[in-house]
Structure 1
Amino acid sequence: MTTTRHTLRLGRDDAFENDVIGIPFEIGAGDDSVEVTLSYDRDAAVIDLGCEGTDGWRGWSGGARSSFVIRADAATPGYVPGPLEPGEWSVQLGLYKMPVEPVDVTVVIETPARSAIPDEPLGAPRPDAPRASARNLPAPAGLTWFAGDFHAHSTHSDGAQSLGELAALAVGNGLDFLAVTEHNTVSHHPLLDGVGAAHGITLLPGQEVTTPHGHANAFGEIGWIDFREPAHRWVTEAAERGGLLSINHPLQGDWAWQHPLDALPAALELWHVSWFLEATATAPWALLARWRRDAVLLGGSDYHSPELKYLPGTPVTWVAAEERSPEAILDAVHAGRTAITRLPTPDAPALVRVGVELIAMAADGTVFCDVEGRRRLLHGDRVVLPGSGGPFRLESATGECLAISA
């Protein structure tokens, strides 16, 4: 066994100089596993943890873990298993929240690894759970509105539950699909088809490109997007690889979007779960006044834990697709066929586009509002409206956002 110990003094000055620093170490030709342990005063700082191999990125667990193991046949969730290529690797430390007075940071690297990797719970499948798509919202010919969520986390980053447990929650809340968007890793991608099939739900491959200056979701089997590169590279690389990039919760406190961009990405997480705490829809809606009005509008629960007291699908993003395969769902998103509702229930107000018209469902007593702020009270459970000049929303009588459509 080989054990290497690195001790550093790191503080806010170091974070201002570099968000992420690397600590190099060697993997020998006979090494078949590695274990890394990080320790520091967690009351004084927040340091993210990751790993880069000789041949590329091997994973990230942010501030959720203090150690990880990588073996040829398995790895700690968030990290990519596989043979350990000989050469120089590096432990990656993200200096997320650092104090003015530096703290001692210790990194211990051991080959071979000593610790076991626990199995991930599959969760309890619920194949007979009703799906929100059974509501059969009005759709263009040959398409169905499927219900989903474009932002969720498991133990492959900082979520509290396994992929299987996350899928079971989404099915239980009536979702047809769920994008799993782990922070700065794609370790979960090879597992999604199997877990999704076990639970009867489509799990979309995603990754949350995460920095202290803002987050973006990249969707599709497009490989890993390097969060250490400038944000404009995320936009171009996602598009060049056939994926889609969405800026996440752009107005949310410490995680608000701060990266300068000359060209905005195609999609925007207009409705994030944090905006359920707003009394009105004003905050997210005002964003469109200075954003691309042709942006694909998405909603995301940013689900992490049952302790937060909400489920995946808070809010619900509806996608008009030919089927609910990952490819069909993402093709529909590329085409801009999305709508968002506050709830997945059959009696929740919805606003969906069918050709040049908008159709408001369960809409009696709601208020139809355009991006300029013009309003109209609706009468009747099904109301057909002109659809040019969007995006549009439905509000309650007290100003709560109920539904959004482009």
Structure 2
Amino acid sequence: MDEDALGHPAAPHGTPYDGSDGSRPSLPRRHLLGAGAAAVLAPLVFAAPARAAAAADPTGERTLTVTGHLPTGAPDFVHLPVEVPPGVREIAVSYSYDRPSVPPGTPGNSCDIGIFDERGVDLGGPGFRGWSGGFRTSFAISRSSATPGYLPGPVRAGTWHVVLGPYQVAPQGMDYRVEVALRFGPPGEPYRPSYPAERGRGRGRAWYRGDCHLHTVHSDGRRLPAEVVAGARAAGLDFIVSTDHNTSSSHGDWGPLAGPDLLVITGEEVTTRNGHWLALGVPPGEWVDWRYRARDGVHPRFAGRVRRAGGLVVPAHPHCPYVACQWKFGYREADAVEVWNGPWTFDDESALDGWDARLAESARGGGDTWLPAIGNSDAHSEPQPIGSPHTVVLAEDLTRRDVLAGIRAGRSWIAESAAMELEFTAAGDGRSAGIGERLTVPADAPVDVRLRVSGVPGGTVRILTDEGQMHQHSLPATGADTVTWRTTASLAGYVRAEVRHPRPDGGPGRGNSMGPDLPFGPMAALTNPILLTARG
């Protein structure tokens, strides 16, 4: 069978799977036997009542219930089979689990949920029908509609699988209860997705502002897609990327909401058990599997599929302190890295330090394999502001391809808000270069670095190279100034700029890990580097 750009069995572009090929990939043994008795017991307990549904009243409803226990050390994902007979109009699922008391500092129970259809649960396979993580306790799927996070489409006969994801299991284990309602009747009209256009009304080659990490009610956000685009317009953005966790279900909603003034790019936040990554620019309607760890060795496979489809692989909040959020896959497969996520905090400082260390290593090696930095709001709900921060990208035009190309090339800087304006250049030996570009000059030729900035009253400008901070400048009360500094390619492999807010009340800055001896506070803007190469 032909495969689409992400390796799934091909279907007509823009249409849900209709099951006409009859394919049903087998359930891999690793999903049943992944971690001892818990994964084996659950399907055995569940299979008998599920198969009884075949005798249900063809005009009524049959509800199936299963209870079970998962011990500490249960597999990451437990697949519970449900036999769906012909004639089912809608499948509805609800679940619950216990939350026993645990000692202080000990994780309690937390369990996600999703579902795969009769095409199977193979890793990266075609059977995905939705995921809501731990955000919802129930969902429903029919041919014409589905709960946000889930994909509308035919409810075909065969073995479906409810998927439990025990995110954390208490020392006492986890008792769970799953109810499945099979509702019979006519299938209803097919769902018609409306995907966003790949082009907005651009200004030609220009700087475009965009937020590449946003959530809606289709994962764990509380904003409707319409509210997200309204917030993006209010924030002065030119583009956004839709990145709901582990699902593509919002993709078909964006078409009527985007417009010439706002480009909407489809994507996904892939939340593995060893870190999250942004799949930016995946084809509309496509999803990226997340059911793996670093030790499984499959991350290059899924990263490669996204890149072959023209998308970008971006580790998100790599130093996030929460369970399963810290990035453990390395950066070989990455196209950029998110160094600034929401309000500036200590984990952003760590991400920035790690990025700068890799940047310095690349510069000293003389290669072009440096990794660009981006920043995003990761906004989920009010009062989290959309577009704070956002990435300002130099693109040939306001199109999906051009915006992604600008991010991939590092022709970008990060702004706290649209009130920030910044220009950063380096010039020497009759040549000049901008952000993300390379300036090649004689080793000892003077290189004049120039930063024009506005929007940070009383802030601090830092000029940094692979040697660390080389220049510091205090901005006036107006927040606007031009800063210049001179170096040579023999002294600096790259040069980049940061603009910091003043320390509030003379303190170290809210959420900032900077020491008390430093005069600046949280980040207001930062640039990708201008690379310097000594000629001859």
Q: How does 1:217-232 map to 2 (within 5 A)?
A: 217-222=278-283, 223-229=286-292, 230-232=298-300
Superposed displacement of residue 403, structure 1: 2.2
Give 1:82's match in structure 2, choosing from 145, 153, 160: 153
Measured in 2, the distance between the counterparts of 1:220 and 1:288 equals: 23
Give 1:91's match in structure 2, choosing from 162, 166, 179: 162
Query: Which residue identity is paired with 2:291?
Result: R
Measured in 1, the distance between the counterparts of 2:265 and 2:226 equals: 14
Give 2:68's match in structure 1, choosing from 2, 5, 8: 8
Measured in 1, the distance between the counterparts of 2:334 and 2:68 equals: 38
Measured in 1, the distance between the counterparts of 2:330 and 2:208 equals: 32
Q: Where does structure 2 lack aligned partners over 5 or more consecutive residues?
A: 1-60, 101-107, 120-126, 186-200, 293-297, 363-369, 426-433, 440-448, 501-518, 529-536
Superposed displacement of residue 13, structure 1: 2.0
Measured in 2, the distance between the counterparts of 1:49 and 1:110 equals: 16
Measured in 2, the distance between the counterparts of 1:311 and 1:65 equals: 23
Q: How does 1:18-97 map to 2 (within 5 A)?
A: 18-41=75-98, 44-55=108-119, 56-97=127-168
Match of 2:417 in 1: 343
Match of 1:124 in 2: none
Query: Which residue identity is paired with 1:330?
Result: L
Q: How does 1:229-378 map to 2 (within 5 A)?
A: 229=292, 230-254=298-322, 255-261=324-330, 263-274=332-343, 276-278=344-346, 282-291=349-358, 294-306=370-382, 309-345=383-419, 347-349=420-422, 351=424, 353=434, 356=438, 360-362=451-453, 366-378=461-473
SS at match of 2:159: strand
Report if the CA contact (8 A) 1:350-1:402 is conserved: no
SS at match of 1:77: coil
Superposed displacement of residue 162, structure 1: 0.8
Structure whose alpha-carbon radius of gyration is higher: 2
Match of 1:126 in 2: none
Query: Which residue identity is paired with 1:155?
Result: V
Q: 1:400 to 1:326 in 2, by over 3 A?
A: same
Q: How many residues align?
A: 373
Report if the CA contact (8 A) 1:391-1:405 is conserved: no
Superposed displacement of residue 25, structure 1: 0.6
Tell me whether 359-368 or 60-69 shows the greater mean CA deviation.
359-368
Measured in 2, the distance between the counterparts of 1:311 and 1:63 equals: 23
If the length of structure 2 is used for normalisation, what is the TM-score? 0.64
Report if the CA contact (8 A) 1:209-1:217 is conserved: yes
Match of 1:107 in 2: 178
Q: Deviations over 1:160-197 (max 9, x none)?
A: 11111111112111111111111110111122222223
Q: Where does structure 1 lack aligned partners over 5 or more consecutive residues?
A: 115-132, 137-141
Measured in 1, the distance between the counterparts of 2:341 and 2:266 equals: 19
Report if the CA contact (8 A) 1:239-1:245 is conserved: yes
Superposed displacement of residue 359, structure 1: 5.4
Q: Which has the higher contact order (CA 8 A, sep 6+)?
A: 1
Superposed displacement of residue 200, structure 1: 4.2
Report if the CA contact (8 A) 2:84-2:159 is conserved: yes
Superposed displacement of residue 90, structure 1: 0.6
Superposed displacement of residue 290, structure 1: 4.9
If the length of structure 1 is used for normalisation, what is the TM-score? 0.83
Report if the CA contact (8 A) 1:393-1:401 is conserved: no
C-alpha RMSD of matched pairs (Å): 2.9
Q: 1:113 to 1:202 in 2, by over 3 A?
A: farther
Report if the CA contact (8 A) 1:72-1:81 is conserved: yes
Query: Which residue identity is paired with 1:297?
Result: A
Query: Which residue identity is paired with 1:237?
Result: R
Report if the CA contact (8 A) 2:211-2:391 is conserved: yes
The answer to whether 1:194 aligns with 2:256 is yes
Measured in 1, the distance between the counterparts of 2:451 and 2:496 equals: 11
Q: Deviations over 1:92-117 (max 9, x none)?
A: 11111221102320111111189xxx
The answer to whether 1:177 aligns with 2:244 is no
Report if the CA contact (8 A) 2:462-2:469 is conserved: no
Superposed displacement of residue 399, structure 1: 4.8
Query: Which residue identity is paired with 1:73?
Result: S
Q: 1:212 to 1:377 in 2, by over 3 A?
A: same
